[in-house]
Amino acid sequence: MKKGLLIVFEGLDGSGKTTQINLLEEWFKRNKKLVHSTRQPTDFYRNDKRVKDYLEDGIVPNMYSIALLAAADRTYQNEVEIKPTLSKGINIISDRYLYSSLAFFKARGIKYQEIRNINKDIEEPDIIIFLDIDPDKALERVRVRDGKNLRFEEKNDNTFIQVRNNFLEVLPKGKTLIVDSTKDVKLIHELIIKYIEKVEVR
């Protein structure tokens, strides 16, 4: 049986991933193609007190241990959800993947190769969509959406500048579509569909 495609959305907080994933999921369903949406990190990582202490308040005794938790979360999710789903011929859309870890943890002081090493057992994505946005604009959207309820790093403009630069450095050029995410929502969706259709018929 033909494996499903692993399509990964990456971008800064507020770049429009959820908006585009919802449209893409509807497109798959309208076209009678099997699709499963998921996200990283999973709730295992998000609800861990050590992770919350950092994401919410910036408290972190050892950053490498947080990177390990993110890698454990991704590796486990790969074994129980991602790999078996792809093997059944079901396409997966993932809200964030390895590249978020690479971009965020590099900005938090962990070496690129270390993050790669601890994530070595995961499935390679077929398609990566990077929703590119100026960090100031992304933060503006997050502020409008979440009000005062911001994460620690969302309060620090410099982090997002570094994270965006890291994304542009680590994303594999051959399989990444970089889209200007300040464009109209529908237009971005059309660009994504065109790209996916090109890969599918290859």
Ligand X SMILES: Nc1ncnc2c1ncn2[C@@H]1O[C@H](COP(=O)(O)OP(=O)(O)OP(=O)(O)O)[C@@H](O)[C@H]1O
Note whether 78 binds ligand X by CB under 6 A.
Answer: no
Query: Cα–Cα distance between 167 and 123 in angstroms, integer?
Result: 19
Interaction residues for ligand X, span 150-189 (CB under 6 A): 181, 185, 188
Say whether residue 123 binds ligand X (CB under 6 A). Answer: no
Q: Taking CB within 5 to 8 Å according to partner kind, which of ligand LXEULUCI, ligand X, none is near residue 41?
A: ligand LXEULUCI
Q: Is residue 77 part of the contact set for ligand LXEULUCI (CB under 6 A)?
A: no
Distance CA 197, CA 91 (A): 13
Decide if 24 contacts 131 (C-beta within 8 A): no
Selection from ligand LXEULUCI, ligand X, none that 104 binds (CB < 5 to 8 A by kind) is ligand LXEULUCI
37 vs 43: CA distance, rounded Å: 15
In angstroms, what is the C-alpha Rg of the chain? 17
Are residues 95 and 11 in contact, defined by beta-carbon separation less than 8 angstroms? no
CB of 59 to ligand X, least distance (A): 21
Between 19 and 37, name the residue whose CB sits nearer to ligand X: 19
Among 4, 9, 13, 196, binds ligand LXEULUCI (CB under 6 A): 13
Q: Which of 4, 11, 125, 135 binds ligand X (CB under 6 A)?
A: 11
**Reduced DSSP (H G I as helix, E B as strand, rest coil) percent helix, strand, coil of the chain, to 5:** 60, 15, 30
**Count of CB atoms situated within 10 Å of the CB of 36:** 17
Tell me, what DSSP letter sits at residue 133?
-
Residues comprising the binding site? 11-18
Contact positions vs ligand LXEULUCI (CB under 6 A): 13, 40-41, 70, 96, 100-101, 104, 151
